[in-house]
Amino acid sequence: MDILSLIGLVLAACAILVGAVLKGAGIHSLLSGAAFMIVIVGTVAAICVQTPLHVMKRALSILPWVFAPPVVERDSMIKKMVDWSNTARKQGLLGLESLIDRERDDFVRKGLQLVVDGSEPEIIRNVLEVDLHTREQADTRAAKVFEGMGVYAPTLGIIGAVLGLMAVMQNLADPAKLGQGIAAAFVATIYGIGFANLFFLPVASKLKVSIQSMSQTREMVIEGMISIAQGENPRSIEAKLQGYLH
């Protein structure tokens, strides 16, 4: 559980709600069904037009990473690869074959299978790097879905404000409605800027951090697999991979 994400969202909500009270506007002034429809539903509509279906599905599937990022246990992974190196030196590369099915991570399984098959180090690197870059690009495109929502929301907030002001202009003959109408018009702007800067853009940035961390772990796995295939000393492998812990 990423406690900072939870704290951030709670503080963001408090900042808006408490700020509205302190400014004298009141919480009730922030509630507007019309603003919600224009900004939130409009933002979702815009991002649906922009985004392919498979990217949208991936974006929704990685959204929980904001609160529960993928566990990256590099220490245990290094220890595991050092053990594999010792096994390979004692029993040969085929001694690792029985360990392939025990791995839950399909990227690690693929690398281990390439090592067991006796693939050349350069082939191992090429195959795994293609896999790494493909995964990273797919996840980054998914994270950019929320970045795009952060771009569209403020613009739709302005559209909502303009529509609200148009409604106000139609009631110029009734001064009693002007103040309330103008205030309601700007609620859409608050929705657009608020959701963009307090949710959509931070979520995109947080997801990119998780994606980068996973990619670095996979880079470490690639180096470890190549080192095992080249028959390097286990201590040398451990010393090399320790650099990824910083």
Q: What is the pLDDT along the chain (246 residues), one digit of tens a residue?
A: 778 989 998 999 898 888 888 877 778 878 888 888 999 999 999 999 999 999 999 999 999 999 998 887 889 999 999 999 999 888 888 888 888 888 888 999 999 999 998 889 999 999 999 999 999 999 999 999 999 999 999 999 999 888 888 877 777 766 666 666 677 778 889 999 999 999 999 999 999 999 999 999 999 999 999 999 998 898 999 999 998 887
Question: Distance (Å, rounded) from C-alpha 153 to C-alpha 188?
Answer: 10
b (16+ CB within 10 A) / e for 149-186: bbbbbbebbebbbeebeeebeeeeeeeeeeeebeebbb
pLDDT for position 175: 67
- The span from the CA of 166 to the CA of 105, in Å, is 56
State which amino acid sits at residue 177: K
- In Å, how far are 40, 160, 217 from 232, measured between CA atoms? 56, 64, 20
Q: How far apart, in whole angstroms, are the C-alpha atoms of residue 219 and residue 128?
A: 9
pLDDT for res 90: 87
Q: Residue 215 and residue 136: Cα distance in Å, rounded?
A: 7
Quick one: pLDDT at residue 176?
66
One-letter amino acid of 181: G
pLDDT at 22: 83
* 156, 173, 175, 177 from 183: Cα distances, Å: 17, 17, 14, 10
Q: Compute the distance between CA of residue 176 and CA of residue 170 in angstroms, rounded to an integer.
A: 13
Residue 179 and residue 42: Cα distance in Å, rounded? 26
| Beta carbons of 114 and 123 less than 8 angstroms apart | yes
- Cβ–Cβ under 8 Å, residues 147 and 197: no
Instruction: Measure the CA–CA gap between 177 and 21, rounded to whole angstroms.
Output: 22
Residue 70 is classified by DSSP as: P
pLDDT at 11: 92
What was the pLDDT predicted at 211? 95
The CA–CA distances, whole Å, from 207 to 57, 69, 192, 235 equal 15, 8, 21, 34
pTM for the model stands at: 0.86
- Which pLDDT value is given to residue 71? 83
Three-state DSSP string of 101-153: HHCCCHHHHHHHHHHHCCCCHHHHHHHHHHHHHHHHHHHHHHHHHHHHHHHHH
